[in-house]
Chains A and B, each alone.
Chain A
């Protein structure tokens, strides 16, 4: 069974204090690993897709990296508007196109 575990469950940072979120996964044949951002009462908003170990992607203050067992979402000099729940999800081989298994998310709060 595919599993995705995110840590920590919650993270409180001061504005400008860089940190990383972790996503550990167990999947049979990774098709892709996805990072989404979710604001309260909203749907997940796409951030990144990573397909193979060693791959990295960046967008503004966010950088996602991937190894064979985990992914990190690095947040550099965060701002209060980065506060949200960050979701990690995997697409596994042998499943239908677009079936994602999600982690429980990391709730990030950035204080001014």
Chain B
């Protein structure tokens, strides 16, 4: 079964350093996302990406964050100048071309296993 692959599985960094989290979405998917989950809290939306540009971003996704699809397979999340509160599990997700489902326009996201970021 196709899956979303994320690397690294765990990264430890010092406060103020830059980190890049990498994702390989499912090959025929066109929509890409990053979510995060701070320990013990809800899964939170960060950003959605389609057609090489950001579709929507949350309040969390400020200038410290950026996303990129550098080639046809990878999707990356860059966090500049990391802070202690950036420690979380970061999930990449992807979804296929938009389908009509009773006119709802919603579709299924497939999530990766996550990258745990620990900022010291």
Which residue of the partner chain A has the closest CB to B56?
Answer: A96
Are A98 and B109 within 8 A (Cβ)? yes
A97:B31 contact, CB within 8 angstroms: yes
CB atoms of A96 and B108 under 8 A apart: no
Q: What total of chain A residues lie within 8 Å of the partner, measured CB to CB?
A: 28
Contacts A97-B48, A97-B55; A46 near B108 (Cβ below 8 A)? yes
A51, B93: Cβ atoms closer than 8 Å: no
Q: Which of A46, A51, A96 contacts B101 (CB 8 A)?
A: A51
* Number of cross-chain contacts by CB at 8 Å: 79
B106–A51 touching, CB < 8 Å: yes
CB distance from A99 to the nearest CB of B (A): 5
B75 within 8 A of partner (CB) = no
A102 CB within 8 Å of chain B: yes
The answer to whether B102 and A52 have CB atoms under 8 Å apart is: yes
Name the residue on B nearest A34 (C-beta): B108
A87 at the interface (CB under 8 A from B): yes
B45 close to A97 (CB less than 8 A):
no
Q: Which of B44, B55, B56, B95 contacts A102 (CB 8 A)?
A: B44
B1-35 at interface with A (beta carbon < 8 Å): 4, 31, 33, 35
In chain A, what residue has the closest Cβ to B44?
A: A102
Residues of B at under 8 Å CB distance from A?
4, 31, 33, 35, 41-45, 48, 50, 55-56, 91, 93, 95, 98, 101-102, 104-114
A–B Cβ pairs within 8 angstroms, 17 of them: A32-B101, A32-B106, A34-B108, A34-B109, A43-B111, A43-B114, A51-B101, A52-B102, A91-B106, A96-B48, A97-B48, A97-B95, A97-B106, A98-B31, A98-B33, A98-B95, A100-B35
